Amino acid sequence: MDGKVVYQGKTKEGKEFEIRYPKKDDATTLCDYINALSQERTYIRFQGEIIKVEDEVEFINSQLEKINNNNGVLLLVVCEGEIIGCSGVEMKDKTESHEGVLGISIAKDFRGEGIGKKFMEAILKEAQDNIPQLRLITLGVFGDNDLALNMYPKFGFVEYGRLPGGSLHNGNYVDHICMYKKVR
Ligand SMILES: CC(C)(COP(=O)(O)OP(=O)(O)OC[C@H]1O[C@@H](n2cnc3c(N)ncnc32)[C@H](O)[C@@H]1OP(=O)(O)O)[C@@H](O)C(=O)NCCC(=O)NCCS
């Protein structure tokens, strides 16, 4: 699967992008991507922490192993050699080994032009096609993330719980909203 392309399209400015599986040598570029999101303090769990390249190398290696064992999916959006999106389904274990946790992000300069929706379609398809034990996909959203809260129901996600003040975002305690989708 390493580097396999699953979708090709064009950005609003007409630049070509592809959605593909990661490769070992993506670690440095992915590290830059994650660090930019972390510094932005957007709606993700990293809020200013700096991720080291060696941690990213370990992350990619473990993800590639899971992908090759049909126990997880990680996809990247790549445009002109730059990573502009990252999405994964991370499988739980033991009594929850049929549950995959979804995460998704697009780089700031490329949001709001429909790439996220294409990316959602791709990650849901790849996860369903490649993880036979997957029955439920879950995710967590900050209560102040209006765009994501509007987008997920369009892909069949339903809220199943909410922890009031469960996430600290930009100095405010916002609700942590839990959503799920049954895939088989
Ligand atoms: C959430 C995210 C992945 C969506 O990707 P995207 O490329 O920006 O989204 P799209 O352009 O495909 O748009 C998705 C939906 O949101 C709507 N949307 C886009 N920009 C919007 C904006 N500025 N305000 C409100 N809604 C907006 C779109 O209308 C679209 O729905 P519709 O076309 O059915 O009306 C992306 O915005 C992102 O990475 N945000 C920061 C990190 C994050 O929030 N990750 C999710 C954590 S749960």
Which residue range is the domain that position 105 belongs to? 5-138
Residue 93 Cα to ligand 1 midpoint, Å, equals: 30
- Residue 100 CA to ligand 1 centre (angstroms): 21
Averaged pLDDT of the chain: 97
pLDDT, one tens digit per residue, over 3-56 is: 999 999 999 999 999 999 999 999 999 999 999 999 999 999 999 999 999 999
CA of 112 to the centre of ligand 1 (A): 5
Residues with CB under 6 A from ligand 1: 42-44, 104-106, 111-117, 141, 145, 147-148, 150-151, 154
Tell me, what CATH number does 100's domain have?
3.40.630.30
Count other C-beta atoms under 10 Å from residue 122's C-beta. 19
The pTM score is: 0.97
What's the rounded Cα separation, in Å, for the pair 32 and 138?
A: 27
94-123 pLDDT tens trace? 999 999 999 999 999 999 999 999 999 999
Residues 25 and 60: beta-carbon distance below 8 Å: no
Q: 3-state DSSP call for residue 25?
A: helix
Kindly state whether residue 96 falls inside one of the protein's structural domains: yes
Sheet arrangement for strand 16-20? 5-10, 16-20, 72-79, 82-91, 99-106, 136-142, 172-182, 158-169
Structurally, the chain folds into a number of domains equal to: 1
